[in-house]
Amino acid sequence: MRTFWGLMRAYWFSDRWKEAWTLTLVIALLTALSSKAGVWFAMASGELVNSIAFFHDAANTNPLQTLLTNAGILMLLVVLKDAGFTGVRNLVSATLHRKWRGWLNSQFNKALLDGNHTHFHAQHGSVAGGIVAPDNIDQRIQESIKDMTGGAIGLAMGVLGVATSLYFVGENLIESSVEVKGLEFLGSYGSAVLAFLAVATYVPLNTWIAVKLGGLLERLNIRMQQAEGSYRSELITFLRRSFHVAASHGEDVQKTMHDRLYVDIDKTWGRLNVVNTSYMSFELIYNFIGARIVSYGPGLVPFIHNGFDLKGYITGSEMVAQLISQCSWFIHVMPAIATLRANSQRVTELANAVENVQQPQEFYRQTGRSDFSYAAQNPVFGLTIQKLELAHQGEDATPFLSAANLRFRRGEWTFLKGESGCGKTSLIKAINGLWPYGRGTIVFPEGVRSFYAAQEVKLQQVSLKQLVCLPGSENDHSDMQVAAALHKAGLGEFIEHLADESREGKIWDQVLSGGQKQKLVVARIILQQPGLLFLDEATGALDPEGKIAFHGAIKANCPDVTVISVMHEAVPPRSLSGEEFYHSVVAIADGVATKKPLVPTLPRELTTILAQPPRPAEDKWLRFRRLKQK
């Protein structure tokens, strides 16, 4: 789906090819019947005009009956053609549109939301590196795919209509053709040749004009989609941070930003309106000349020389008008073609972006250095990091963080410490394959499940149970298990709402406070029972008591978990009894990460003695010797 034609045919060669081809063949049949009905319509129109013209003719014994009969036949043909063939075809084509769009949508959802984190990597292009990330991915998936599929089906039906009309109308024109004075060498095909010549001259010339205007429409349509997408994206982002804008009284700045983005829409829209108006005027003039002058011209010469009677002349002219109308399909739909090409370009760009990041390191190597190696080892040895260097974009970028050798034992809790911006979060991103540039080896404990708890928790519009079961399915755990996890995390008051997607008309993202959202993370951790846990400022919204409860719940319910944590605090929290949650600290200073025990490890006996009230030195020494002997 990385090229226009590849995108157009993908659905018809997918696992749903039977559905696609069945609907397509039904549309083709109904289009052919509609074209044949057009020929019947032209003949019936000729009969009706003839009955009107000879209404008072002496040879016409039943003029009123003939007139009403021909009018009735014409009306039946209109109903058959427009309400029957064309109407049913519209329903079938709308069904094909719905099915095709649904299939394409599912393909892009699968591609973006795969285990490769494609949705994340695809947004990390670089203008400097010549790899531009696709803007407004949401718009491309929603609007561009919808408009592209609908436009393509309409255009395909138009092409089929041209082919069937050329066959049926051309056949009738040849059958009714007569000799034309001055063109006797053509024999009885004279009038048909004149008709085809008129169509072949008039339509291509105007099609060339339409193509030139269509190219301009296509470019403006692409620009309009980009401008609309940027404006909508900013509105969505603004609504998500509405509280922060209100708290900082940033409405004027936000308004200025919206006005600046809308200026681009307004200017592009104005140019698009001018081109659309010009095209509409061109099409109206073209239709009038084609239907009233060009179509009646070829039959005029044989009619003047009595080659045709009035009925034959009218019927033949209606046939030519029908032929011009069908062959002018390209002109009539040029704006739609421009929109189709614009939409397809947006979709193929996204498909290319998805494909380009299937090998993330190869993708990032185009704009910088990316040589990370990921392996697995016996879980007894825990997590190991060797010769790690993190950098920003650019081949010659100087590493901002390095770590020669870090080892995290099973069950060990490690606290990352350093100034803001030193690279604490970047380090755990790199461990999880979410940092693009640098090098190093990360060896995971084999078969151990990892869990990354970020500082911002975005809650989907789903049931509370599904939120707790993330990243798995709500079918993976029973209601009792989920309820127990919520209770242990301190959210027991919500247990009765497990199946609810909202509460009092609000989704859970609006119901839960910041602290409650982070308690929800605890519930997820307890339920998932990871062996390797990354906490990226996951307690930022909690008060000191809440942070202690957060860590205590994990300590009590996940006894063997290895924890690597980033927090704002200079000193990690302790339990209520004063016991340390963390065993070691990774300190980042001057771009170097080093690991050491959080406090010097002392013998248990010595720790016990030092905790006793002061006594004479001799008593202390004797007590220590006795304890050591025991």
Higher pLDDT, 237 or 565: 565
Of 418, 376, 276, the C-alpha closest to 336 is: 276
Q: What is the DSSP track for 417-429?
A: EE-TTSSHHHHHH
pLDDT digits (tens, 9 = 90+) for 353-372: 889 888 888 888 888 889 99
Neighbours of 477 (CB within 10 A): 18
Residue 102: Cβ-neighbour burial (10 angstroms; 0-12, 13-18, 19+): middle
Higher pLDDT, 127 or 298: 298
Which pair of tokens denotes residue 442? 């990360």
Considering only 22-26, 43-47, 579-583, which range has the smallest mean pLDDT? 43-47
Higher pLDDT, 126 or 55: 55
Contact present, 535 and 555 (Cβ < 8 Å): no
Q: What is the pLDDT of residue 114?
A: 86
Residue 62: Cβ-neighbour burial (10 angstroms; 0-12, 13-18, 19+): exposed
End-to-end Cα separation, the chain, in angstroms: 75
The CA distances from residue 203 to 318, 323, 617, in Å, are 16, 10, 112
Higher pLDDT, 387 or 124: 387
Q: What is the DSSP track for 169-190?
A: HHHHHHHT----TT-GGGGGGH
Rounded to 10 deg, the angle between the 87-112 and 17-53 helix axes is: 150
The span from the CA of 398 to the CA of 392, in Å, is 8
pLDDT digits (tens, 9 = 90+) for 492-551: 999 999 998 888 878 888 888 888 888 898 999 999 999 999 998 888 778 888 889 889
Query: Residue 217: what are its φ and ψ, rounded to 5°?
Result: -60, -40
Contact present, 416 and 595 (Cβ < 8 Å): no
Q: Is the pLDDT of residue 325 over 60?
A: yes
Of 169, 189, 133, the C-alpha closest to 38 is: 169
The overall average pLDDT reported for the chain is 83
Contact present, 589 and 418 (Cβ < 8 Å): yes
pLDDT digits (tens, 9 = 90+) for 432-469: 988 999 999 999 999 999 999 875 556 667 888 988 88
The CA distances from residue 15 to 1, 355, 527, 598, in Å, are 15, 20, 37, 57
Which of helix, strand or coil describes residue 441?
strand
pLDDT digits (tens, 9 = 90+) for 156-177: 887 787 788 778 877 878 888 8
The span from the CA of 47 to the CA of 66, in Å, is 9
Query: Does the N-terminal peptide bond of residue 471 adopt cis geometry, omega within 30 degrees of 0?
Result: yes
Which of helix, strand or coil describes residue 34?
helix
Q: What is the pLDDT of residue 216?
A: 87
Q: What is the pLDDT of residue 618?
A: 45
Strands 413-418 and 562-566: parallel
The CA distances from residue 510 to 458, 500, 561, in Å, are 11, 14, 31
The span from the CA of 87 to the CA of 100, in Å, is 20
Q: Is the pLDDT of residue 610 over 60?
A: no
- For residue 600, name the pLDDT band (cuts at 50, 70, 90): low
Higher pLDDT, 232 or 389: 389
Contact present, 152 and 96 (Cβ < 8 Å): no
Q: What is the DSSP track for 119-173?
A: HHHTT--BTTTTBPPPS-HHHIIIIIHHHHHHHHHHHHHHHHHHHHHHHHHHHHH
- For residue 601, name the pLDDT band (cuts at 50, 70, 90): very low
pLDDT digits (tens, 9 = 90+) for 374-414: 999 998 889 999 999 999 888 788 999 999 999 999 999 99
Domains of the chain, with CATH numbers? 4-362 (1.20.1560.10), 370-611 (3.40.50.300)
Q: What is the pLDDT of residue 129?
A: 59
Contact present, 366 and 129 (Cβ < 8 Å): yes
Q: What is the pLDDT of residue 58?
A: 76
Q: What is the pLDDT of residue 12?
A: 95
Contact present, 587 and 401 (Cβ < 8 Å): no
The CA distances from residue 589 to 389, 401, 424, 544, 600, in Å, are 14, 9, 11, 26, 20
Of 371, 416, 415, 364, the C-alpha closest to 394 is: 364
pLDDT digits (tens, 9 = 90+) for 178-225: 888 878 888 888 888 888 888 888 888 888 888 888 888 888 888 888
Q: What is the pLDDT of residue 604?
A: 46
Angle in degrees, CA 96, 97, 98, rounded to 5: 90
Which pair of tokens denotes residue 423? 């690279």
The CA distances from residue 501 to 457, 460, 467, 510, 524, in Å, are 17, 9, 10, 12, 17
Q: Is the pLDDT of residue 605 over 70?
A: no
Of 38, 136, 141, the C-alpha closest to 80 is: 38
- For residue 128, name the pLDDT band (cuts at 50, 70, 90): low
Identify the helix (H) or strand (E) that includes residue 295.
none
If you ran DSSP here, which 8-state letter would residue 85 be given? I
Phi-psi region of 444 (alpha: psi -120 to 50; beta: other; left: phi over 0): beta
Which of helix, strand or coil describes residue 371?
strand
- For residue 599, name the pLDDT band (cuts at 50, 70, 90): low
Higher pLDDT, 135 or 231: 231
